[in-house]
A and B are shown apart, each in its own frame.
Chain A
């Protein structure tokens, strides 16, 4: 038996480590794949690709605008560029190149960013990225993917390598709780029901999916039956799955390591409003403030984004008269 079970690529790895490994695989299979970074090759895990394919790896130094523009030029010449830096720099420093050069020309650039959310905890607001989903989501032609774990990252990258148009893939520095044990086929625009339940729907993305599952397990011991949806495809979003969840549970909590404005919570709220769904909705995330500095796990706890915090929000949601939307850290 032991000889027949091969550990699937990505299992147990952080999303950034899985990205680094998968990028090498993609490079082996397609010589159009090139990698670009801005003095962060080892940190964002593209160094291994650079060792394997030095002629297809470009380090632009500390110059993200030039890197993003050059990615557009490479794509215009038939390449599939994977651009990687920290989420905050790819989102803000190189924003206009991302929008005007990459997205307007609808080029197959894959912007795979590490250190998203609060994952570089002590780095503080200069290095936290809590606006990136909102910004990328607002850009026409752009697809936005936030994988839940290493396996989810591998699945997403396999699907989007040949995607027609630009894709933003949000990765974490930290190792996310494992959500997936087996390789699966990722589909853009489709969410995944990773835990079935009937009382409340937790719709999460990225590292928050695994912690939502932990929260659901804890709540189930108290007699609640939450379901958890991995909404890795934040844009396009799975409207049908949101509608079905709302009709089934009448309560939705969105969970993301991001501002509650414009990210997953915003996207789900738009669907809920436009579909006229009679649902109690709470968005869990950073409530329009910058985070403080500190160890990652402690920041998650401080802002109610750890399993306990998610569970507490859901308890409030289930309690008549409580308004979890006003919960403050």
Chain B
């Protein structure tokens, strides 16, 4: 059973990468390729395994909430929402065009299923914290998830929220840090040291796990409700590769934002086919 689910989630992650590559070629202006590709397994596991949502009723009061704090991963998020059935898939082809609801950053106003607009970094965890407080006031069972970039752990507001979530004992809140080790200007080690990140999270009072962010089984296990401590929020540091799945984008700061040529698109597709072939 678990093996079948693992294969399914891996296939969906490849689907999402193919979507990112396609839009990366067709869209106007450019997209955040690297930080979208690093999210593929995280979003696959969340939307197709963890989250309780109703795509035909995006405002369902009892749904789990996911805030994509790294709003520049919006292409990956929208691909996941489309594949989950929140809206027709075809709309994504208008990415970045005038009057298209789909553009560089996550937009709650225009895209069903997007729980909060995001793009300015360091905003999502405070918003998710507010949602978790609301869930607690109502004694509700829905949970709140928040995906952060590692770069936005340089923002003071992220740590304000880390401190407060532990202070309020919000065990219905789970943060996932997409630790791809690259922010816009380069390696986070050079831009602003984050390590020891896990130790910092623990010191702030969070149940802290570190996993391979491209291993769907590891993500499923880490995000399982069984891995939890009462009265403590949980953070999963997902070690990922920026641009994951496309060799010429992997682990390069230059993959942060851009556009794919026709030739690059062919190569990327071939590599993703190979990735899919290895799912057994």
Contact = CB atoms under 8 A, between A and B. Distances in A.
Interface of A: 34, 55-56, 58, 60-61, 63, 65-79, 81, 96-97, 100-101, 104-106
Contact of A76 (B123, B127, B137, B157): B127
B163 A63 contact: yes
Given A67-B126, A101-B117, 13 more contacts: A60-B164, A61-B163, A65-B157, A66-B157, A66-B161, A69-B124, A69-B157, A70-B133, A72-B126, A73-B131, A74-B130, A76-B131, A101-B123
Interface of B: 61, 65, 67, 108-109, 115-117, 119-120, 122-135, 137, 156-157, 160-161, 163-164, 167-168
Given A61-B167, A65-B156, A74 B133 contact: yes
A76 B120 contact: no
Given A96-B120, A100-B123, A104-B117, A69 B137 contact: no
A105 B126 CA distance: 15
A74 B164 contact: no
Contacts of B133: 34, 58, 70, 73-74
Contacts of A69: 123-127, 129-130, 157, 161
B105 to A, nearest CB: 10
17 contacts: A61-B163, A65-B157, A66-B160, A67-B126, A69-B125, A69-B129, A69-B161, A75-B130, A76-B108, A76-B116, A76-B127, A77-B131, A77-B134, A78-B61, A79-B137, A104-B117, A105-B108
Q: Kindly name the residue among B127, B134, B167 whose own CB sees the greatest number of chain A CB atoms within 10 A.
A: B127
A270 B31 CA distance: 40
Contacts, number: 102
B120 A100 contact: yes
Nearest to B129: A70
B117 A105 contact: yes
A63 B160 contact: yes
B117 A100 contact: yes
B117 A97 contact: no
Q: Kindly name the residue among A70, A75, A81, A106 whose own CB sees the greatest number of chain B CB atoms within 10 A.
A: A70
A86 to B, nearest CB: 17
B127 A101 contact: yes
A97 B109 contact: no
Nearest to B140: A77
B52 to A, nearest CB: 15
Contacts of A105: 108-109, 116-117
A70 B109 contact: no
A124 B138 CA distance: 42
B116 A101 contact: yes
A56 B133 CA distance: 9
Nearest to B67: A73
